[in-house]
Structure 1
Amino acid sequence: MLVSTEGIILHYLKYGENAVIVNIYTKEFGRQAYMLNISRSRKAKVKSNILQSLFLVDLVAYQKYSREVQRIKEIKNQPVYQNIPFDVTKSTQAMFLAEMLSKTLREQESAPEMFSFIQNSLLFFDLADEGIANFHLWFLFRLTEYLGFMPDTKKTGFEGWFDMRSGAVVPFEPSHPFFFHKEATEMLGSLASLKIQEIGKLKISRNLRGYLTSKLVEYYQLHFEHLGKVKSLKVLHEIFSL
């Protein structure tokens, strides 16, 4: 069956001399693996540079549900990013978020609301000028709502700690190590009330940003046992330490 859908590139692997296996999160079919023929020729219709982390694509594919790997007939970047590929900070964040999404988006079924959230967030990020250093924090926090483990940051008149095991702010420091310290918990509350257009208003130190990033990854790891080590996290920390 020949189908058309929108997609978000997660990652790809070379397959022989002239092909790749590309994992794409699609609007119509969830996560899918596709075989794609590519060429280094200047006249080639499809080149591997359209398969960068989190690039948005339109594709036409041969879809057969009994197959683990589908085959792409046509693919193109749509919409085309204006800044992400050329901005080292944005491209590094995209690489990090692509790894997180690749490890958490496993379902081969349509989830149009989550797809639209990811797509619209990336389009905003591409054109944003203010607050871009905090985009990945906002994105990871908001994504938990669609994945089903959004932190409960409501407090009842007390200063608290975010307990990652219970998923809520508690009035006492947990006895286990899976919690956010008080300052990070307060910032988590700020993220909860922040709209994407307001990211530029979030004032956060470099050290706290790094701490929050690592702790959010740890929170994801508690909910996805297979997530394992996030290799791009080190690169992200290095970029923000410059």
Structure 2
Amino acid sequence: MPSLSKSRAIVLHLTRQGDSGAVVEVIDSSAGRQPLFLRGLGRGRGVSVSAFHNLAILDVVTYATPRSSLLYLREYSPAFPLEGIRSDMSKSTTALFISEVLYRTQKRDDGDAELFKWLEESILALNDLQGPAANFHLWWMAGYCARCGFRPEDNWSPERPLFDMVSARFTAQNGLYAEDQLLSAEESQLLHRLLGATLEEALAIPLSAARRQAFSRQMIKYLSIHFGAAFDIKSLDILHAVFA
């Protein structure tokens, strides 16, 4: 008899398998990144793909069988309706971007209860946000780096105006660091502001679409350096188009 397990999961990605199956990649509240096999998709089968939108937070019941290494999804229900994300293009595109960053960077079986709690809180903050969300992903990436164990040291000063992505600290422009590992002075000051900002303060920072795009690419590069793998986040261009 299969053993049942209850948990909460954040949806990252869904891949269809055949006519009525799918593999749902999630971050589980206790087990970390996991693939869950879902049966019964399709017209008249009672399972809707819309429930598994990017960053959906679900209460799930899963089970394992001796014949498969996959966990099977037996029951699921939305922990929160997340109508703000589902109905707003800027929020849903931000959710797509965040989902892809998590999908690319989180390895399987990396359970982290504190990270899951922060992710859940940040998803709810995005859902409930009133007003423009254009800077949300910048604030989120700065926070995500900290939760992954490589928080940038906020030692910015006029004498240390450049952020070195390898040492994760601000430094003087003295020729000791390769230029391709340094943020520009403008990008470095923006990172400094984001590190000390509340969400409301971060959203109020005036930025052009080009500056947001450039900074986002540098933060993805920073993640790549510290995770030890190059990440190509394709949804960044979609996000840029929405907020341009």
Whether the TM-score (by the shorter chain) exceeds 0.5 is: yes
CA distance in 2, matches of 1:68, 1:193: 43
Percentage identity across paired residues of the two chains: 24
* Contact 2:14-2:23 at 8 Å conserved across structures: yes
| Secondary structure, aligned partner of 1:203 | coil
CA distance in 2, matches of 1:66, 1:170: 55
CA separation of 1:51 and 1:138: change in aligned 2, threshold 3 A: same
| Secondary structure, aligned partner of 2:156 | coil
Q: Deviations over 1:54-95 (max 9, x none)?
A: 111110000469953100100122211121122111111111
Alignment gaps of 5+ in structure 2 = none
The answer for the alignment partner of 1:154 in structure 2 is: 155
The answer for the alignment partner of 1:54 in structure 2 is: 55
CA separation of 1:167 and 1:102: change in aligned 2, threshold 3 A: same
Q: Deviations over 1:115-171 (max 9, x none)?
A: 010001110111111351111001111011111111112135525111111111111
* Contact 2:19-2:42 at 8 Å conserved across structures: no
| Secondary structure, aligned partner of 1:106 | coil
CA distance in 2, matches of 1:66, 1:94: 35
* Contact 1:165-1:178 at 8 Å conserved across structures: yes
| Secondary structure, aligned partner of 2:61 | strand
Which stretch of structure 1 is more off in the superposition, 170-179 or 93-102? 170-179
Give yes or no for the alignment of 1:178 onto 2:181: yes
1:200-215 equivalence runs, <5 A: 200-215=203-218
CA separation of 1:109 and 1:206: change in aligned 2, threshold 3 A: closer
CA distance in 2, matches of 1:200, 1:65: 49
Which stretch of structure 1 is more off in the superposition, 163-172 or 222-231? 222-231
Relative to the length of structure 2, the TM-score reads 0.91
Which stretch of structure 1 is more off in the superposition, 33-42 or 19-28? 33-42
CA distance in 2, matches of 1:30, 1:154: 32
Structural RMSD (CA): 2.0
Which stretch of structure 1 is more off in the superposition, 113-122 or 148-157? 148-157
Which stretch of structure 1 is more off in the superposition, 193-202 or 19-28? 193-202
* Contact 2:136-2:203 at 8 Å conserved across structures: no
* Contact 2:37-2:73 at 8 Å conserved across structures: yes
The answer for the alignment partner of 1:3 in structure 2 is: 5
The answer for the alignment partner of 2:18 in structure 1 is: 16
Relative to the length of structure 1, the TM-score reads 0.92
Q: How much does 1:202 deviate?
A: 2.4
The answer for the alignment partner of 1:137 in structure 2 is: 138
CA distance in 1, matches of 2:105, 2:67: 23
**Letter paired with 1:113:** E
**Letter paired with 2:55:** L
| Secondary structure, aligned partner of 2:136 | helix
* Contact 1:14-1:20 at 8 Å conserved across structures: yes
The answer for the alignment partner of 1:114 in structure 2 is: 115
CA distance in 2, matches of 1:127, 1:79: 11
**Letter paired with 1:190:** R
CA distance in 2, matches of 1:9, 1:186: 33
Q: Deviations over 1:214-236 (max 9, x none)?
A: 11111111123444311111211
CA distance in 2, matches of 1:193, 1:94: 23
* Contact 1:103-1:227 at 8 Å conserved across structures: no
Q: How much does 1:206 deviate?
A: 2.4
| Secondary structure, aligned partner of 1:132 | coil
* Contact 2:220-2:231 at 8 Å conserved across structures: no
CA separation of 1:71 and 1:239: change in aligned 2, threshold 3 A: same
